[in-house]
Amino acid sequence: MSVLAAIAVLALLIVVHELGHFMAARLQKIHVNRFSIGFGPILWKYQGPETEYAIRAIPLGGFVGFPDDEPDSNIPENDPNLLRNRPILDRAIVISAGVIANLIFAYLVLVAQVGTYGVPAGFNYQPGVIVPQVVSQESAAAKAGIKSGDIIIAVDGKELGASKEAIPFLKEAIESHAGQPLELTLQRNKATLSVKVTPQPAPEGTGRIGVQLAPNGTATYRRANSTFEVLSLGADRFQTIFVGTVQGFYQLITHFKETVGQVAGPVKIVEEGAKVAQNDTGNLFLFAAIISINLAIINILPLPALDGGQLAFLLIEGLRGKPLPTHIQDGVMQTGLMLLLGLGIFLIIRDTTQLEAIQKLFQ
């Protein structure tokens, strides 16, 4: 059920994104002839009065189609409600509406989480620090045998107590031992084991082992005092996630070799979402918000086949006073789409082979 919940969240986010484009066009009375979730062969479709609604075989996104360039369209080429005949601002609104829809949806989801589960009122700490994720199979942690879900309960024989100081203490030990072995005591399910890990030196000279860390315990909540508190806390969480996501993309660009292994495809995202749902179904709200913000930021990047790439074409058109030749735009977009699909398929294959259930088949 947790896997189905994670898949449902991803599907919902794609629908939200494409619905943003669709509604922005329809509200401006711009012709829309296709609304598709997925790419490739059609699995199911419904033909409305003007728009074909479809679900396609390759679940790597979706698209909203316009009749502008279809040779068999019965709409006159000079129709003012064709997308290409609209002013640049109108087209920019349609193109950017998917990103805006994902950002608005993320905020509403976070507000719903606060409204449903309450306001954090504290944390019941348990001994140790949880490792939610090992970020790369090439990391020092992975090579030492540390796995996602392990609880680190001691460092070089010094126990990590049940307090908020456990994570800072562990981070300090790792950062100060670049190139030097550390003995970590782990709790995995009901077993206790020891591993030796040698933190890899980071560019700034501190050590890192390539894991995410989280406090061990459970949060406590109270009812919100007012609607304003719910909206305000939702906004604070949105800002924190948004800023952290932007910083993550910046690190991916500036430290590509060290962070490229963290890039996840649909399979890995579903796997992590299933773990979140299994531990606490309320965390699905947070999972949906994080993925929705990531989807928005990825789409606004000025890359071919993404919304940001189309906005870049509009910017060039505004500067030149006329659009780039159609064959150039189509060539860039088709190339970008093929690269995007290729990357998606590569990530699906890579992440599938790294699933624990698949790996056990070859052991």
Instruction: Report how far residue 140's alpha carbon sits from residue 175's, in angstroms, rounded to the nearest whole number.
Output: 13
- For residue 263, the model assigns a pLDDT of 52
Residue 171: CB atoms within 10 A of its CB come to: 15
Q: What residue has token string 């890192």?
A: 208
CA-based torsion, 134, 137, 140, 145: positive or negative? positive
Q: Tokens in use for 319?
A: 């500067």
Domain 120-222 is of which CATH architecture? Roll (2.30)
215 forms beta bridges with 129
Name residue, tokens 């292994």: 261
Q: What is the pLDDT of residues 31-50, one digit of tens each?
A: 999 999 988 899 999 998 88
Q: Which two tokens stand for residue 98?
A: 């998917």
Residue among 226, 161, 152, 225 nearest 194 (CA): 152
pLDDT for position 348: 46
183 is catalytic: no
pLDDT given for residue 349 in this prediction: 45
pLDDT of residue 121: 81
C-alpha to C-alpha distance for 236 and 259, rounded to whole angstroms? 27
20 to each of 242, 247, 336, how far by Cα in Å? 19, 25, 22
Q: Is 32 exposed, middle or buried (0-12, 13-18, 19+ CB in 10 A)?
A: buried
At residue 211, the pLDDT reads 87
Q: What are residue 130's DSSP bridge partners?
A: 151, 214
Give pLDDT, residue 205.
80
Active-site residue, selected from the candidate residues 18, 258, 271, 272: 18
CA–CA gap between residue 339 and residue 286 (Å, rounded) = 30
CA 234 to chain centroid:
19
In the block, tokens 């012709």 appear at 31
Contact 56, 138 (CB under 8 A): no
The pLDDT assigned to 278 comes to 57
Distance, CA of 322 to CA of 86 (rounded, Å)? 13
Task: Name the stretches of the chain with pLDDT < 70.
Answer: 1-3, 251-282, 332, 334, 336-363
pLDDT at 358: 31
- For the entire predicted model, the pTM comes to 0.73
- The Cα–Cα gap between 293 and 100 comes to 10
Could you state, in order of their start, the residue ranges of all structural domains in the chain?
2-115+293-361, 120-222
pLDDT in the model for residue 336: 64
- Phi then psi for 34, rounded to 5 degrees? -145, 140
pLDDT of residue 137: 76
* Type and span of the H or E element at 182: strand 182-188
Strand pairing category for 182-188 and 191-197: antiparallel
Q: Are 162 and 153 in contact (CB under 8 A)?
A: no
Q: How many CB atoms lie within 10 A of CB 190?
A: 5
Rounded to whole angstroms, how far apart are CA atoms 347 and 261?
Answer: 10
Contact 350, 342 (CB under 8 A): no
- Alpha helices per DSSP H over 83-212: 88-117, 140-144, 166-175
Q: What is the pLDDT of residue 251?
A: 67
Longest alpha-carbon distance in the chain: 78
Contact 124, 218 (CB under 8 A): yes
Residue 267, classed as helix, strand or coil, is helix
Separation between Cα atoms, residue 63 and residue 333, nearest integer Å? 13
